[in-house]
Amino acid sequence: MINFLLISNQNDLSALNKFSPTVEVRTQKIKKWIRDNAHGLIMIDFATCGFTLASDLIRYTRMTLRNPRLSLWLICDECDNYHVDDDLLWPDRIVRVSELEHPALLAAITNELNKQFASQQMLQEQQLNVELISKVNQFNRRDLVVQASLTEFVSALDVFCQSTQTIIVKPSKSQLTPKLFQLDASRKLISLPTIPKNLTSLMDKIAHNDLPNILFPEQTRTQTTLVFPIMIFGERFCTVLCCVESDKADHLSVSKVKIIEEAAVQLRISLESLEAQRRMKFHYSRLKKTLTELHQTKSHLVHSEKMATVGRLAAGIAHEINNPLSIALGNFTPLNHYVDSMMTLINMHDELIENIHLQDNQSASEQLSKYKTDTNFDFIRDDLSAVIEDSKESLVRVRNIVADLRSFTNQNPTEIEQFSLFNACQDVLKLHSYSDHKQISFHNHIPNELQISTNRNQLLQAINHVLENAIEALEKTENPSIKLSANSDREKIVLTISDNGIGMSEEVVSHIFDPFYSTKSLTEGRGMGLSITYHLLTQLKADIKVVSQPNEGTNVVITFNVNSM
């Protein structure tokens, strides 16, 4: 509809009636019309409005509303005088009353109305373009719901193309036929059970279109179809089909197709960004789960290696436990004999006391003396305390060995405590003293007063792995010895474990902390001891360094940063 307002109450302007203008003279109604219409033609009759109202309406349009698009024409007689100093208050054209019936003026009015209509149509198209692009940009929101945003975009595309039917074709990996959705009157996507008959012949054509395209009607179709494929990383996410009546397809100009192509590019970028974020979140979730499983596996592996260490010490420890147990069990045989002899002697004393009362104490006294001689009672009395004390010491030794094992195998990775470094190392050395390495001399030169705050159990396990490697290096060494020493200052505590074994080459030292690296055969070791040691000390925020040369022994230096403990 062409917007044309005539402000006049004169009857001699009937020549303008052919344009069916809206006639109004009330100021409030006039200003409302001006506010409601961004485009159009306003003809102001100077004889009706006068200078004051005419200039006020022009000022209201140009300066208050800042609308340069409305065309303002002023109708004046030859004798009317309209003069203002401000150029903005001049009308776009002054028309004399004598010109109203002239064909040239009528043609000028027609051209102006057509120009205003075209300008209005262009503005509407621009608004539709902006709305279409804004729907694409919604795919960049953090709180994006893809289905809802896709529905909004398809709705905007439907309005943009003025389509009579809008269909979404989505490929299905599990089915041969694609899934179909239609935009209904309420602007919602509903599923379609079958392909509409008017689109059946299009399915093969749209399957190979990766860019927006217009399919013009054939003899069997009366509609023009706009094909809008939505691609993600080169794969088709879906295809939007907008069907337009063929006699109304002229509005699908080249500029509109260009806008749709630009929207397709922006939409593809947005959706690919979304898909990349989704994949990144998925891979992050998998990586996080894998990392958790890796930490759990590493924890189990550390404990498994600790149990393997206990197994390697088991033979020597079993021997150590067997000796005191044999002593304790062997003592029970004489102990039973001693108890029986003492019970018999007590009974004989009871008989002696009874016979004293019966004046027959001579024979009972002789029997008692003879029994003491026969059972060597003086020896029993002297040896009984020794047997009991010996058994007690043996059982206490067994208890201590078991306590040492339980302390070593305890799995508590989080406790931080302050303790004597000398005593901690002594506990590890004590375990090896139970084994068959008694020919090795262990020397603990760590100062008794040196205290350290860390996880005691993890530190014991790390030191034990180092000692095991040192013991293995001493198998063919004469006068084997292992020495532990330490020094400290305000910033660090340095523990050094030295042996006089066969040493290692630079190549072996460079790989010594690698998991599963071992210079032994597969049946002799898994190569995890020092790798686990490195892991444990890293958790304790400690550094480990190995200094070794072939045939010159090895020094393992463990440094604890006091400030990080």
Question: Can you give the pLDDT at residue 122?
Answer: 79
The span from the CA of 425 to the CA of 112, in Å, is: 102
| pLDDT given for residue 561 in this prediction | 87
Select the more confidently predicted residue: 32 or 159. Answer: 32
Of 101-115, 300-314, 360-374, 535-549, the range with the lowest mean pLDDT is: 300-314
pLDDT surpassing 90 at residue 512: no
Q: How far apart are CA 43 and CA 498, in angstroms?
A: 108
Average pLDDT estimate for 119-125 = 79
Share above pLDDT 90 across residues of the chain, in percent, rounded to a whole number: 13
Phi, psi of 476 (to 5 degrees): -115, 25
What distance in Å separates the CA atoms of residue 407 and residue 491, rounded to the nearest whole number? 29
Residue 409 — very low, low, confident or very high, per pLDDT cuts 50/70/90?
A: low
pLDDT at position 253 is 62
Looking at residue 504, what is its pLDDT?
Answer: 87
> Residue 522's pLDDT is what?
44
Pairwise CA distance, residues 17 & 15, whole Å = 6
Quote the CA–CA distance of 45 and 74 in Å, as a whole number. 6
* pLDDT of 130 strictly over 60: yes
- pLDDT bracket for residue 483 (50, 70, 90): very high
For a pLDDT cut of 70, what percent of the chain falls above it?
A: 74
Of 40-44, 303-307, 462-466, minimum mean pLDDT range: 303-307
Answer whether residue 362 shows pLDDT above 60. Answer: no
- 13 falls in which pLDDT band (50, 70, 90)? confident
The lowest-confidence range among 19-33, 95-109, 366-380 is 366-380
Question: Nearest-5° angle of CA 459, CA 462, CA 467?
Answer: 120
pLDDT for the residue numbered 82: 78
Distance CA 211, CA 248 (A): 23
Per residue in 241-258, pLDDT (tens digit) is: 888 877 666 666 666 677
Per-residue confidence band for 403, with pLDDT thresholds at 50, 70 and 90: low
Q: Is the pLDDT of residue 510 over 90?
A: no
Amino acid 555: pLDDT: 92
The highest-confidence range among 19-33, 79-93, 330-344, 388-402, by mean pLDDT, is 19-33
Tell me the C-alpha distance between 82 and 91, whole Å. 10
Comparing 351 with 51, which gets the higher pLDDT? 51
- pLDDT at residue 523, rounded to an integer: 47
Mean pLDDT of 489-503: 90
- Residue-level pLDDT at 563: 75
